[in-house]
Structure 1
Amino acid sequence: MLDDTDRRILRYYQAAPDGGMAELAEQAGVTGSTLARRLERLREKGVLRGLRGVIHWPALGWEVEVSLRVTLDKTQPRAFDEFIAAAREVPEVLEIQTFLGQTDVRLAVIARDMGHYQQLYRERLLSLPHISDIEALMHVARVKDTEALPL
């Protein structure tokens, strides 16, 4: 699907997505028009899904990060759908992942401080539907944080 030139473009692009196109073309060893065509083709194929601004939320006062591992009551046929729909409505839930295994869902949650987290947990998270078990894992440190692929 990707040739060496595409991989080279993606490698430099993911390292510095906010760099200029002329600089990227030079680093990747292609002309500006070749770069533009290849980037467009990668977008059309769904390899490049767009640019986004990444906000460092601790800089805005969100100091607590918790990972909640949730087991749902699977005797309820719509447990997953109803739980996920309700969890999406909680603004502090940044990510929802589903799994096969003992843990059904993982929620990534942020809060301003422990008091805010305690209130959020008691008032919003514990009231999500179909929870049969929940385990909170308090985030201590992010040792590696990358979305870069080894291209």
Structure 2
Amino acid sequence: MTERTAKAARRARVLDDIDLRLLRALWMDGRARVRVLARDLALADSAVSVRLRRLREQGVLAGVHAEVDPAVLGLTTQALVMIRLSPNTDSRAYEERLRTMRSVLGAVALVGDFDLEVHLACRDMADLERSVTALRDAGAESTHTQLIARTVAGLGQALLTEEEPA
């Protein structure tokens, strides 16, 4: 078991039903006020505040983030680009380069046939082509691009259920 896996297992043991309900409520509305969370959980405001502080300190609650719809910004063409890095490309340097690219929404490092999967949001097909070219020029040996037809919303909440995963 890796150190990261061991830490995750320890975190899982410290979460009780109330913690899970609190995390689910934040997942649904990250801007929920402590008073509203307390009312919904039938707890005192101070009890919710203590739990939130503990969850942050333990690294369980890593943050609450705003989700911006790229289409509102005129970025209506989205794609996933699988990237195989050139042998002489440093993966950390490539990841730093991704942080400077306006069209990059996110990326995950992979183990397998490809090194990275990059999520792009672009204005149109010409912008997508320029973005993929920039990914290649930054040190990709090859790319495989798939257009996103639609995003499936509301996933991830099952992580916070009490049942064992299937």
**Does TM-score exceed 0.5, indicating one fold?**
yes
Partners of 2:29 and 2:104 lie apart in 1 by 28
Structure 1 residues 6 and 120: alpha-carbon distance in aligned structure 2, compared to 1, 3 A threshold: closer
> Secondary structure at the residue paired with 1:71?
strand
C-alpha RMSD over aligned residues: 1.8
Deviations 1:34-72 (A, max 9, x none): 111111111111111233222111112110111110112
> Could you tell me which of 58, 72, 82 is aligned with 2:93?
82
| One-letter amino acid of the structure 1 residue matched with residue 90 of structure 2 | A
1:139 corresponds in structure 2 to 148
What displacement does 1:121 show? 2.8
Partners of 2:74 and 2:26 lie apart in 1 by 30
Q: Does residue 1:52 correspond to 2:65, yes or no?
A: yes
Q: Does residue 1:104 correspond to 2:97, yes or no?
A: no
> Could you tell me which of 138, 160, 165 is aligned with 1:150?
160
What displacement does 1:147 show? 4.1
Question: By percentage of residues, which structure has more helix?
Answer: 2
What displacement does 1:99 show? 0.8
1:41 corresponds in structure 2 to 54
Unaligned runs of 5+ in 2: 1-13, 162-166
What displacement does 1:30 show? 1.1
Equivalent pair of 2:30/2:65 in contact (CA under 8 Å): no
> Secondary structure at the residue paired with 1:52?
coil
What displacement does 1:95 show? 1.1
Unaligned runs of 5+ in 1: none
Equivalent pair of 1:42/1:48 in contact (CA under 8 Å): yes
| One-letter amino acid of the structure 2 residue matched with residue 128 of structure 1 | A
> Secondary structure at the residue paired with 1:33?
helix
> Secondary structure at the residue paired with 2:51?
helix
Partners of 2:156 and 2:46 lie apart in 1 by 27
2:131 corresponds in structure 1 to 120
Partners of 1:17 and 1:83 lie apart in 2 by 31
| One-letter amino acid of the structure 1 residue matched with residue 71 of structure 2 | P
> Secondary structure at the residue paired with 1:126?
helix
TM-score by length of 1: 0.85
Q: Does residue 1:68 correspond to 2:81, yes or no?
A: yes
Equivalent pair of 2:80/2:119 in contact (CA under 8 Å): yes
